[in-house]
Structure formats: C-alpha cells, structure tokens
Amino acid sequence: MTKRPLTYKSAGVDIEAGERAVALMKDSLLATYDPGVLTGLSDFGGMYALDPSLREPVLVSSTDGVGTKLKIAFALDKHDTVGHDLVGMCVDDVIVQGARPLFMLDYLAVGKLRPEVAADIVRGIAEACRQVPCALIGGETAELPGFYAQGEYDMAGFAVGVVERSKLIDGSAVGAGDVLLGLGASGLHSNGYSLARAVLLDQAGLALDQSPPQLDRTLGEELLKPTRVYAGSLGRLFAQGRYPHALSHITGGGLPGNLCRVIPAGLQARVKLATWPILPIFSLIQTLGNLADEEMYRTFNMGLGMVAVVAAEEADQWQAWLEAEGEKVYVVGEVGQAAGEMEKVVLS
C-alpha cells in the first residue's frame, strides 16, 4: 500500500494560514510606527534609531505575559483585549524607571493557527501601543501542533524604553514625609486569575455569562476588562520635566510585594486602607472565597494599579496633573522612618 506523502501542513503547520495572519496584522502594525522605526515587515530583526539628542541614554527593558487570564478569553472566544493586557504589563514596568517606551515585540504560540484570532490579538497589542505611544516593530507567531489544547495559545511581550541616565527613577530620592498617591485600576488587570477562577468558577460555580448583582456587567466581561496602561499619562508628564521620587507598578504580589521595591532601607511606606474604593470584583472574590485580607492584598492590586511617591509639598500638584491626564488618584499614605528590621510596607 502506497503511503500518502507527508507535508508540513498535514503535520499540523499551515504556512498559508501564517501568511494570511501576517496580512491581516499589517495595518495594525504599521499604524504604530514612528520616525524612529527603521524596519519593515519583511526584515528579520526590528530596527529602531535612538534620539541623537540623548547624551547618556539608558535602555530599560521588560518582558511579561498575560497569564491564566487567557483562560477567560478561550472560554468566551474573545481575543481582542488580551493584547492590550500584554502591552500594559510590559510598558508600565518600563515607565516606572522614568523611561519612555520606544517599541514592543510580541511572541504568540498556538496549537492551530486561526488567522482571524491572531489578527484580533495583534490588533489589541497595536491599539494599546498607540495609546502609549510606542511602536510594535516585530513579533513571532509560532504554530505548535500537539503542544496546546484546541483553541488555546500563549503569548509574551517585550518592551524597550529609553531614559537619560540623570532622569532615572530608582527610588533613591524617596524620603520620610513623602506622600503615596494611588492610581486607580480598571479591575484585576492581569494578576491573580488562578485564584479568581478557582473562587468564582470552580468553588462558587458562577458562569461567565452570569451577571452577579455586585457587578454592572457579566462576569466574563468583568474578568476580560483590559489592564489600565499608565505609561501614556506618566510619559506625558515626564515630557514636561515632571518626575516623581518613585513609581511602583502594582502587579503580582500586590501592594506589599511591589511598593517595597522602591522604598530605601530605613524607611517605611504606610498605606491607609480606607483611602480608596475597593472595586466590586475584589469584594465578590473575597466574600465567595472567604479569603483573608492578607491573601487578597498579596494576590490582587485591590484597585490600585500604580503608586507614585512624591514630595509632600508637591502632592496636590501631582494629584491635579495626574487627574488632568485622566487618572483616578487617591492619597493613600506616606513614607516614614523605620526602626530596625521593620517591614518596608505596612497596611493599616
């Protein structure tokens, strides 16, 4: 019996589908380009020219993913928001160092490529890049048959920014008496979804198309809210010469696990818990899961996606500047002296 000859497509990799996906992504990618982009869609590597006026440029880079939030996108077959999450998780790790995000790269791995889904994902990445703004100058879409469950994929993002060495924000300017300004989050952002899914879907048995009375939308819509991207508003303030003493991106580990990274030795960030509204989704998770406060604040952002540390005499100005950029801003605490081996972050 004559065996049918194998092809790459019969083995599970469809080159034509890949080419169609690239064609569908093209307009989204080109819309993010700025004068620094020297690359084209057919180049092997993305090229970006630094501003020649920079005297001591420091490149700041970050990489991240979206995590198990993707499980919600798979279940709802809705893929146009997770790219936005990918950008936010990367560029906001760059902006906290004082760096202006220059460009993004993305990696998308799928079991079987659906060009329209890939295009939706990249469209979301590009839309978020335009908000920053930064260029999406390259990426990789890998079809890996047999590696992922049907309809599933994983993604990673990579951001690079630049800052003058003299403008780096590293927390060294933080001092006793500084004020903590919390910037409101849109929701869970992209952290804590393993616990959220375990509580809401597995333990409580809620359906994604269900509308709990605590929420003003379906559970699925709430869980797919895009991560708020702060790099745009902060970058515009940097461009005006306005720099805080420190910035902390509140991601995995919550307030205690992230704010401590910008507090120098001998100082303590004292966060007052009643100073900002807790979003309903967090209250729902805590109630249904019977979770301790400590577990909540070490897992989720609890409604604050970024914390700025500013001089006390500039706190009102900073609040006004950030609100003018569209941020919700709350005075959530202060920095004080710490005695001995006291924790760097205290919630009270």
CATH number, residue 315: 3.90.650.10
CATH number of the domain at 24, please: 3.30.1330.10
Q: Quick check: 75 and 208 in contact, CB under 8 A?
A: yes
Stretch 306-322: mean pLDDT: 98
Counted domains in the chain: 2
Of 10-24, 152-166, 258-272, 282-296, give the lowest mean pLDDT range: 10-24
Q: State the average pLDDT over residues 267-277.
A: 97
Among 122, 144, 167, where does a domain finish?
A: 167
- In this structure, are 123 and 263 located in the same domain? no
pLDDT at 115: 92
Has residue 8 been placed in a domain?
no
In a domain, 251, yes or no: yes
Position of tokens 């100082």?
267
- Give me the mean pLDDT over the 269-297 stretch: 97
Q: Strands 267-271, 329-337: parallel, antiparallel or unpaired by DSSP?
A: antiparallel
Report CA-CA distances (Å) from 75 to 140, 162, 209, 218: 24, 38, 10, 14
In this structure, is residue 5 part of a structural domain?
A: no
- Residue 1, pLDDT score: 56
Domain containing 90: what range?
15-167
| Nearest one of 113, 92, 112, 91 to 102, comparing CA atoms | 91
Q: What is the pTM of this model?
A: 0.94
Confidence at residue 208, expressed as pLDDT on a 0 to 100 scale:
98
Same domain, 206 and 252: yes
Per-residue pLDDT, 2: 59
Average pLDDT of the residues in 81-100: 98
- Is residue 1, in this structure, part of any structural domain at all? no
User: 41 pLDDT band (50/70/90 cuts)?
Assistant: confident
Q: In this predicted model, what pLDDT tens digit does every residue of 149-199 receive, in sequence order?
A: 999 999 999 999 999 999 999 999 999 999 999 999 999 999 999 999 999
More confident residue, 146 or 42: 146
Contact residues for 302 (Cβ-Cβ < 8 A; gap 6+):
254, 255, 278, 279, 282, 296
Look at residue 245 and tell me if it is in a domain.
yes
